[in-house]
Amino acid sequence: MADSPLYNALRRHLSLGRSSFHTPGHKNAFLPKDLLSLDLTELPDTDSLYNACGPILEAEQNAAQLFGAKRTLFSSDGCTLCIQTMLRLACPEKGKVLCSRRIHRSAVNAMALLGLEPVWVKPEELLLYLHSPVQVNACYVTSPDYYGRVLNIAALAEACKEKGIPLLVDNAHGSHLAFTNPDLHPLHLGASMTADSVHKTLGVLTGGALLQIGDEQFLKNAKSAMALFGSTSPSYPIMASIDLTVKWLSEHPDAFESVEEAISKLKEKAASLSIPSISDDPTRLTLDASSHGYSGQELAEFLRKNGVEPEMADSRYCVLIATPWNQPEDFERVEKALELFSELPQKEAPPSDSDLPELSELPPVVLPLREAVLSENHELAVEDSVGAICAEAACPCPPGIPIVMPGELILPEAASLLKDYGFSTVKVL
Ligand SMILES: Cc1ncc(COP(=O)(O)O)c(C=O)c1O
């Protein structure tokens, strides 16, 4: 008889009893266990996502009220669907998008499918470009990023307003920022639309996300834009979990206070052990293991051995996501593990003394994004790829930020960075 390898792996993982500092935000401790029995479909009394006029519309309106949006749309196809929808609403075909280079591959794919032309800019140069005569239809950024670092959204929103273009924010990691102090939710800082992965940091089942619309002009076509990409079989348990989370947050507006307090204590503890942390998000712990000469991956492995499962790690940082559904003993475990980590013998040479490895210069774009993604491609060894045109966003996942974008020329620096990230091959034209 066939085994059930995935199901077994999931059960085995749960039996380890680790404290969850990864997504989903509900930490398997919030939602009612009977969600399975609510796995229904579009029936006369259950409404229909893309033609919502009953309980789904009402639930979306409750969410809009909670987040202070003009309109909020549910997605059970992740934040990816919300990103596709934002870009579709804001730009005509062949439109140009001023894009922070540090964006998730879902946006790259969406722009390719929609035939949009990204104008890649380093995040720190966005304001400069917005104040220049560059002609674009929208500005697209990710904030906060995987590490919990935020951009100056208020300044970007102001500059976009002056230019008469919408600011679109991938807020996948920041839906909870509407409930923290200070309120760093990009919608409240002037963004025109945000895509919120509510399954990452709120109580929602994996796949649940919200498109938050702050700008009147995007209301009319929002549902049809989402229907262009969305599955025709949205998950009712996921949508119900959004509905339940919205209700719970309305009743517990201070839910993140204790999380902020616990993370603030852990940041202080880490600092006292000479382990710096870098997140602007008061609920996220992004630890720099290089201070002790270790990689983020080594710290992550150490945490696992001490009963803590982090969200992700790279050559320098280890990221922990905390939500109201973490228990006090979870934070105690992290504290103990950090004490033990700090007692490990200091390694001599830190593995990385720079910040996150990135290209120093953006490569030349030699082919439109859509053409590069949809043309015939082949795989090439990274060391042989210098001078070729990239055909697929090559990104370590997580964090899912491409090193080389489709349509760009692969230069020696990019090839070397790909090698550092462990890529042996890359798709080229
Ligand atoms: C920054 C960022 N944006 C977008 C996404 C896509 O979100 P989802 O997985 O909900 O579709 C992710 C996923 O990890 C992400 O990290």
CB 363 less than 6 A from any atom of ligand 1: no
The two beta strands, 138-142 and 167-170, are parallel
**Contact status, residue 423 vs residue 392, Cβ threshold 8 Å:** no
User: Nearest residue CA, atom 7 of ligand 1?
Assistant: 79
**Contact status, residue 232 vs residue 53, Cβ threshold 8 Å:** no
Look at residue 356 in the predicted model and tell me its pLDDT.
65
User: How many angstroms separate the alpha carbon of residue 170 from the centre of ligand 1?
Assistant: 8
Q: Which CATH architecture has domain 5-24+256-342?
A: Alpha-Beta Complex (3.90)
The two beta strands, 378-381 and 425-428, are antiparallel
User: What is d(CA 381, CA 410) in angstroms, rounded to the nearest whole number?
Assistant: 12
**What is the DSSP-derived secondary structure letter of residue 345?**
P
Look at residue 173 in the predicted model and tell me its pLDDT.
98
What are the domain boundaries of the chain?
5-24+256-342, 33-251, 369-428
Q: Which atom of ligand 1 is nearest to the CA of 197?
A: 10
CATH class of the domain whose range is 33-251: alpha beta
Q: Which residues of the chain have pLDDT under 50?
A: 353
Of 180, 206, 175, 182, nearest in space to 30 by CA: 206
Of 209, 210, 212, nearest in space to 190 by CA: 212
Residue count of the chain, please give it: 429
CB 20 less than 6 A from any atom of ligand 1: no
CB 142 less than 6 A from any atom of ligand 1: yes
The two beta strands, 312-313 and 317-321, are antiparallel
Look at residue 355 in the predicted model and tell me its pLDDT.
60
pTM flag (> 0.85): yes
Q: Which tokens in the block code for residue 329?
A: 């003993």
Q: Which CATH architecture has domain 369-428?
A: Alpha-Beta Complex (3.90)
Helices (H), 195-235: 198-201, 222-229
Look at residue 360 in the predicted model and tell me its pLDDT.
84
Q: Which atom of ligand 1 is nearest to the CA of 209?
A: 10
Three-state SS letters, 119-184: EEECHHHHHHHHCCCCCCCEEEEECCCCCCCCCCHHHHHHHHHHHCCCEEEECCCCHHHHHCCCCC
Give the model confidence (pLDDT) of 136-185 as tens digits: 999 999 999 999 999 999 999 999 999 999 999 999 999 999 999 999 99
CB 85 less than 6 A from any atom of ligand 1: no
